[in-house]
Structure 1
Amino acid sequence: MKREEIKYIIEAVLFAYGDPMSIKDLKNVVNEDLSIKEIEFMVSSLMEEYKSQNRGIQIIKLEDKYQMCTNSDYADFIKKAVEPSRKKSLSQATIETLTIIAYRQPVTKAEIEDIRGVKCDKVIKTLLDGNLIREAGRLNRIGKPIIYRTTDEFLKVMNIESLKDLPDIESIEKAENTEKGE
């Protein structure tokens, strides 16, 4: 099979799969005698083609996975076409809880409640339902508490590639203190 054909197979697989997919998984699907680096190069090549032509779709990187999605430049047109039901914005309590999970993950409900000082059952359910967090297992201690982590959906909503791209806590605190005039 020609390399150009393999590149378009990768494109078709990413389109059809919909969810983020790792290079290793792409290599297994293509089942060619190509290295991980070669597959990664082909994905990067596709990404650059979409970007340089300002196409309606794009491939984005989320941690170590890739996903095909629409180009955000055309979001207004997409909204008109699909007329989505309006999503409720997140409450202050939900944002606080999501922030704790993002910066402290993996974290248990008890740890979140200890930081916030209030119960958070309903807020955690909202975040789980919104696919912004997920259950990431249980701790091996009394009660076997569930631990929570953010999801790839969280990265997409935050428009970041990795958790490393989250703002530094110290810079946020400095900005808040500056706003308060401290």
Structure 2
Amino acid sequence: MKSQKLKSIIEGMLFLAGEEGLNAKQISEVTDQPVQTVQIAIEELQADLKKARRGIQVVNIAGGYQLSTIRAHAEYYERLAYSPSRSSLSQAALETLSIVAYRQPITRIEIEEIRGVKSERAIYTLVNKDLIQETGRAEAIGRPILYGTTKSFLDYFGLGNIRELPDASAFENADDLEGETQLLFDRLEEKVHSEDIVELEALGEELTGIAEDILSESISSTEQSSSKETTLPSSTSSKDTSIED
């Protein structure tokens, strides 16, 4: 296999592997290339990305390789993560989040078994939004990552702690994903509705304050005009008296 093709394949594999990454042996088995050849290709890929000043890099973590963004651009990624336009969750992300919330700690493979579809992108999205995080490693082959919810998850759904999650025990099927997802969705709608009410109340108070200020200024202005009109006759009267004298 040509070097350029191998590097391209490795880059794509690391993208699909996400946070879990891949080691040289795993890449070797998939590509049918010697481990040493794979390691050389990874080193060349690292150099290529750096030379081209790309926004991603290949990093070596715990004996494996991951695709990662470069630290110099961190402030822009933070802006993107907390952008209002990205505040909504897709159905896939909400389903994945409900699984993690009700079954944490849980691995990606377990999530996919419940959903019946690949979930790397949904997990990636939720990690970027700081709604789920790595909580450890499972005692299983390959030591897969365990995921759990974050403090931001509690804030996002207006929960004091994880025990305040809507009760899912009413469902007959313990794996009723649709029901659990709907509970989370309903909870989110309640929070949004509550926030709208608070915003409207705050706006109402602000408008009331403005109206009171205007009314106060109007009364003050009227009183000053009244005072001027009252003093004018007395000075005229004084003038008239002096003429008569």
With the shorter chain as reference, the TM-score category is 0.3 to 0.5
Q: TM-score w.r.t. structure 1 length?
A: 0.47
Q: TM-score w.r.t. structure 2 length?
A: 0.35
Structure of higher RCO (CA pairs closer than 8 Å, 6+ residues apart): 1
**Which of 1 and 2 has greater Rg?**
2
Q: Determine which structure has the larger strand proportion and give its number.
A: 1
